[in-house]
Structures are given as C-alpha cells and as structure tokens.
Amino acid sequence: SNYWSNVPMGPPDAILGVAEAFRKDTSPKKVNLGVGAYRDDNNKPYVLPSVRQAEENIFKKCLNHEYAPIGGDPVYCDLIAKLGLGENSLAIKEKRNATVQSISGTGALRLGFEFIGKHYNHAREIWMPSPTWGNHPQICNTLGITHKKYRYYDPNTLKFNLKGCCEDICSMPPGAIILLHACAHNPTGIDPKPEEWQILSEIIKEKRLLPFFDMAYQGFATGSVDNDAFAVRLFEKHGHQIILAQSFAKNMGLYGERVGGLTFVCADQDTAAKMMSQLKIMIRTLYSNPSINGSRIVTEILSSPELKAQWLKDVKEMADRIILMRKKLREGIEKRGSKHKWDHITSQIGMFCYTGLKPEQVLRMTKEFHIYLTKDGRISVAGICSSNVEHVAEAMHKVTA
Ligand code: PLP
C-alpha cells in the first residue's frame, strides 16, 4: 500500500523554479536574472579574495570538527552583533543583546518568528512591506502567525510611499511587529532615505511597535557596510528593542555555507540572558547546534584587521559592478529609442531591479530572448555582465516597445 497517497504535488518555488527552467534551456544566449546570487563580469560565481584567504588560514590551523555551542561560537556572535549594530552600540556595551548564530538569513527569520510565536505576549501579528520577499509570509504561514501588509512601494511613482506607509503604521495595534528590510529592499531596490527612516523610527516608537530588521544585504546597497546599517543603528540609538536577522550569503558570497545571525536587543541584561536561554532551548530541538565552517570563515575575516579591510574592498567591488551594470542597462535601453522612462534602473539600489515589466512582457523575455526572471518583473542585476547587457537591453526595449 502507499502510505503517502494523500500527499499532493506542491508548486515549484517561485524563485528557484526560474533557475530550474533556466537550466533546461539549451540556447547559448540564455541569461538567468532570477536568483539573487552575485556573478562576476564573466558571469561566473565569485569567491571573494578575503574568503579564499580566510579559508587558507583556517586550513593551516588544522582545526577539529567538534560541535559548536548551541547558540554558535560566542566570539562569532560578538563579532557579527558589532558588525550589525556598530562598534558604538549601547546595547552591546550594556550586554543587552541576545545573539545566536543562525542558518543564514532564512534560519534567522524562522527562528525569530518562531520565538515570537512562542514567547511574544503583545499583538502577535507581523506587518510586512508590500511587496516583500516571498519567504517572509511563507514562514509565517508555516508557523500559523498572522501577517499583514503595509504600503511601501508606489507603482505610480515607482518610489517609496512614505505617506501610505505612515498611515498604515498608525493603523497597527500597539505592540505589533513591523518587518523592515534594513537595506536594498527585495524585490524593489527602493529604500527609505535617511530622513524618512528618522520619521519611521519616530512613529514606530510612538505606536510602541516592535521593529524586526531583515538585513540580508549589508554592504550590497552602497558598497559600505556602515552606510547600509544606518537604519538598524538609528533605531537602536532611538531606544527601540529591535530584532535583527543577518545573513552572510550575499555580502561574503557564502550562500551555501548557510551562515547568519539573530539578535534581540533587550531592555536589560537580565532579559537578554533569559532570552538567550530560551533561544538555546528552541535551537536544540530544531537543529541542535549550527554548522562550523561558515562561521569560522566569517570569524577569521572579522577578527583580522587586514582581512576585514580586504573584505570591505571586496564588497565595494561587487556593489560597484552592479551599479555599473545598472548604468549600462539603462543606457542600452535608452539608446535604442525607448519611449519609456528608465531612471528607476539607476536610482534603485542593491542586487535587484524592479523593472516594471508586466507578466506578459516577462513571458516574452523568456520565450523570445531566453532571459529568465520572476513574474513580478524583478531582475537580479548581479546576473548582468559586459557580454550580456546589450542582449538584455535589446529584450527589455523590444518587449516594452
Ligand atoms: N531576506 C531577504 C530579503 C532575502 O532576499 C534573502 C535572500 O534572498 C534572505 C533574507 C535570506 O537568504 P539566506 O537564507 O540565503 O541568507
């Protein structure tokens, strides 16, 4: 008999499904702009020089493969909390942060949301920007946590909708959780300006909401890890008890290592210690303890001034190449005589460009030009390089002509 005959076929993942279709395409012209992974100018996966050097250093140390502590290596946790919250973070100085290693950014979100589901005694609903990364609502659905949308992107102006966002924040119940993309908003590539973050921080405080920052792209937006942590650090300075999910997938190119972190900034040291104890209990039953290779690489880089300097250069180089490709793509479309405005390609930041292409235009991009992207018209600019930018520009011009 078939014990699993009740199990229906599930739909493919919206983003990873695009990668699958790309793999099956045999055209030499094919371009994958679906998945958010950095490629160098030869369209090849990129291992950062700082990461290579860290790997060599670690190899020479002949380390063992014992288990990590449940929350991860405390040295790693201190380093990444400082990278996110900043060297001058009051919370870190006062030991009010509970920080654990997570299974990359997704694992940090999952652990953070699950913690909210189990221990949060206030308005247990998570408000997310519209649009947001598809996995945010999915994780909530899996956990049975209520999620709602607040206005973020204005499709008419192609800009951040500050007014709509503030109105929606004012309608949230006190204590609700507001999910914020710390930088390089996915999928729109549109972030609030510093003065807009200031306003958001003030009204979020006034409404007594709990800000949960998802920081998957620190360094990728502007090329500077400090600039990109502006909002996180501003909120902490304003006294918010923020939650912070970090990932080293993109900014260290450690995608498959699955290394990240989850931090709760707490009211006091005593609360942080209690939170830490409960995080450990939760992790113990999920995966017992985290993997050690990725966190060793991150630790090696962040604890050595020379390697850290090299890494900051590496991040800047990746961000700059993306910025250059945005410029070339926009020029490529404009020089073909497009009637549309394309300034959003260069004004948006981070890995993604929200092109404004309609689903039928996206379909034509794939069918006629072998260019793969998600249905919402989002492209990963990291997948564009000198040898394919003209092909992508030509396609975008033709399908919108
Ligand atoms: N959050 C956002 C907004 C993302 O775009 C991503 C990756 O695409 C993640 C979190 C987490 O990625 P990972 O689990 O690979 O660190």
Cβ(102) to ligand 1 under 6 A?
no
**Cβ pair 240, 211 in contact under 8 A:** yes
Phi-psi region of 78 (alpha: psi -120 to 50; beta: other; left: phi over 0): alpha
**Cβ pair 244, 91 in contact under 8 A:** no
Task: Provide the whole-model pTM.
Answer: 0.95
250 is catalytic: yes
4 is catalytic: no
Instruction: Report the distance separating Cα 24 and Cα 372, nearest Å.
Output: 11
207 is catalytic: no
Ligand 1, atom 12: nearest CA belongs to which residue?
A: 105
Q: Which atom of ligand 1 is nearest to the CA of 247?
A: 16
Query: What does DSSP assign to residue 106?
Result: H
Which residue among 101, 186, 381 is best mutated to probe the pocket of ligand 1, counting the most ligand atoms within 8 A of its Cβ? 186
SS3 content of the chain, % helix, strand, coil (to 5): 45, 15, 40
Catalytic pick among 30, 168, 197, 250: 250
Query: Does residue 187 have a cis bond before it (omega within 30 degrees)?
Result: yes
Which residue among 16, 102, 132, 135 is best mutated to probe the pocket of ligand 1, counting the most ligand atoms within 8 A of its Cβ? 135
**Cβ pair 290, 68 in contact under 8 A:** yes
The letter for the amino acid at 159 is: K
> Helix or strand or coil: residue 181?
strand
Compute, in angstroms, the gap from residue 371 CA to the centroid of ligand 1.
23
Predicted confidence band of residue 11 (pLDDT cuts 50, 70, 90): confident
b (16+ CB within 10 A) / e for 50-66: bbebbeeeeeeeeeeee
Query: How far is CA 268 from each of CA 2, 92, 114, 137, rounded to the nearest angstrom?
Result: 54, 11, 22, 30
Ligand 1, atom 6: nearest CA belongs to which residue?
A: 216
Q: Which atom of ligand 1 is nearest to the CA of 108?
A: 14
- Token readout for 311 is 């890494």
Task: Give the model confidence (pLDDT) of 241-292 as tens digits.
Answer: 999 999 999 999 999 999 999 999 999 999 999 999 999 999 999 999 999 9
Beta bridge partners of 372: 32
| pLDDT at res. 266 | 98
Catalytic pick among 133, 197, 311, 342: 133
Q: What is the ipTM of this complex?
A: 0.99
- Which residue, among 213, 293, 282, 298, has the nearest Cα to 257 in the 3D structure? 293
| pLDDT at res. 19 | 85
| pLDDT at res. 17 | 79
Question: Can you spell out the DSSP letters for 303-341?
Answer: H-HHHHHHHHHHHHHHHHHHHHHHHHHHHHHHTTT-SS-
Cβ(261) to ligand 1 under 6 A?
no
